[in-house]
Amino acid sequence: MQEMQPNHKKSLTFWLFFLVIFGLMNFMIYNRFVKQQVTEVGYNVFMKMIDDKKVKEASITSSQIIFMDDQGNTYKTGLVEDSDLYERLYKSDATFGAEIVEPMNPLLYYGIMFGVQILLIFILWRFMTKRITKKMGDDPDMMSFSLGGRGKNTGRIYVKSKNDVRFKDVAGEEEAKELLSEIVNYLHEPQKYTEIGATLPKGALLVGPPGTGKTMLAKAVAGEADVPFFSISGSEFVQMFVGMGAAKVRDLFKQAKEKAPCIIFIDEIDAIGKKRDTSLTSNDEREQTLNQLLSEMDGFEENLGVVILAATNRPESLDPALLRPGRFDRRIPVELPDLKGRIDILRVHAKKIRISENVDFETIAKTASGASGAQLANIINEAALKAVREGRKVVQQDDLMESVEVVIAGYQKKNKILTNKEKLVVSYHEVGHALVAAKQSNSAPVTKITIIPRTSGALGYTMQVDEDERNLMSRSEILNKIATLSGGRAAEELIFSEITTGASNDIEQATKLARSMVTRFGMTEDFDMVAMEVVTNQYLGGDTSLACAPETQTKIDRMVVDIVKEQHQKAAQILKDNMQKLHEIAKHLYENETITGEEFMAILNSEENTLVSGTEV
């Protein structure tokens, strides 16, 4: 006898499961709503209930009497010769002679219900199958290469389309594109590499912060290579039942081998590729899935034409066996773009909207220092939305500058009303930052000061933009930045002899910089070049943990406090030396709510020293 196919076994299992579940449901429904409980009683009880006028209906047959009381309960009793029975029923106002329906035969009930339910399920299945088939036919860019099921992967295979993402659509990551172009060339012309005896790495790992374009780069490889491209997320391998994740891996690689040359892309591979350990909290299913992935990657024959791409934000969490030569042996960093990269990314996304010819992308890119590709795309989109809200059909420079502030600090809170005192405090606070920054060397120029509240919670902010791209910070530059962060609090103390909660974010940033100087950057004489802190998850916020003795931690805390305190005093002295300018600029900001960097420098460099008449509020 021929062995039953796996798909047939799965179908049989499904229908058996379906029959059991619906059998239980029908049994419960029958007993609760269909089956009537008939109580057998003696003839004397029947007669007493007639005399008490509790019999509502009665059906007299040749062998028994079935009757129902005024509460809806059904009874039956044997038939006894009683010539006065009909007269007695008549006097009790009972309805007799009416047929009382007995409970339905269970077999008949189950047969009808199962037949109806199976028919409905069959009709629904046929309808869904047609819909899925039609959808796959209408969408030539994406086809499902597996409809799922136990042990089947749920990935997608992308085929060539008119709207493919190409390398020209990805800007700001030239090094990554160059490395990936080699993979594309290998898939197109493998003989060039085999002639010289070179073999292409089997796996390439894209690592970098969120929003830098790792997934888009993988799609661009698919568009350029013009080969089948299997895409699946690491979390799709994770299953509740042991063995199913490994089965999905086997199925994925089996289909990839059949369609070689091709590319497999696994997004967020850290979901299954974490380091294996022997702790009690280890996940057997995830480790089995990882073992299967390692086995499949190591089992490829040379020049088979299957290339594996993967993306992650947490490369330090991956298992070393996954990163060894022969598996993911090429690591491609996809970092935050530099100034030129930001300009190129802005130009790429600007092609999708109507934009003014006099827009200066370099100025926008400088203002958006540290932004990822996704944030830059959002800046372009926010600028277009702002233009539409204001009834214009072309995006202008002001729209883009405002959209940078929206992405960084949030939207303006137009319904947020500050009291006069709060508005004055915020004015002096922000001017304190700007004035300390302007009076120090090696500080980024001030480009804008505002006291308009934002949805991020900021009541105001001072924007500084470096003229050039900065990759390194000296010790003096970090100290100047801590002093600038302390300028807001110092201004509050000098003018109002009182402090507010508005400096909370400044304090947090200043403390973080000072601690990094001590524990990570080796900028103190006491610790020299010894690292006291370890950074983890560098692409996801950079969590840190101290790696030193408790006594050393106490010393670190004292040194951090001394650094911040010293720069706080330095900021206060700068403001004392420029008190007249502090009053003058704060008054201008209080009246106008926003001033540009040019206006700020013009007032600062002017010879007139117009004082605010008092500081009472």
Asked if 484 and 439 touch (Cβ cutoff 8 Å), the reply is no
Q: Which DSSP string corresponds to 379-402?
A: HHHHHHHHHHHTT-SSB-HHHHHH
Taking residue 462's Cβ as centre, other Cβ atoms within 10 Å add up to 23
Pairing of strands 156-158, 229-233: antiparallel
Tell me if residue 493 is catalytic: no
Alpha-carbon distance of 503 to 485, in angstroms, equals: 9
Cα separation, 342 vs 360, whole angstroms: 12
Inter-axis angle of helices 504-519 and 475-496, nearest 10:
150
Q: Which CA distances in Å does 607 have to 388, 448, 579, 610? A: 43, 22, 14, 9
Instruction: Yes or no: say if 567 and 510 are a contact pair by the CB < 8 Å rule.
Output: yes
CA dist., res. 391 & res. 398, Å (int): 14
Peptide bond into 261 cis (omega under 30): yes
Block residue for tokens 């409980």: 37
**Helix, strand, coil share (%) of the chain residues, nearest 5:** 50, 15, 35
99 CA to centre of own chain: 66
Close Cβ partners of 569 (under 8 Å, ≥ 6 residues apart):
none
| SS3 call for 360 | coil
List 462's β-bridge partners, or say none: 449
Q: Which residues contact 555 (CB under 8 A, 6 or more apart)?
A: 526
Rounded to whole angstroms, the Cα distance separating 564 from 552 reads: 19
Residue 297's CB: how many other CB atoms inside 10 A? Answer: 20
Contact 520, 511 (CB under 8 A): no
The radius of gyration of the chain from alpha carbons, rounded to an integer in Å, stands at: 39
Neighbour tally for 32: CB within 10 Å? 8
154 and 148 Cβ atoms separated by less than 8 Å: yes
Backbone angles phi, psi at 57, to 5 degrees: -140, 150
Q: In what order do the strands lie in the sheet with 328-333?
A: 142-144, 156-158, 229-233, 262-267, 306-312, 203-207, 328-333
Residue 483, C-beta contacts closer than 8 angstroms, at least 6 positions apart: 436, 440, 567, 568, 570, 571, 574
With contact defined as beta carbons under 8 Å apart, do 430 and 491 qualify? no
Task: Considering the candidates 57, 173, 430, 584, report the single residue annotated as catalytic.
Answer: 430
Name 64's bridge partners: 78
Whole-angstrom CA distances from 585 to 144, 306, 477, 494, 495 are 63, 65, 25, 15, 14
Catalytic residues: 430
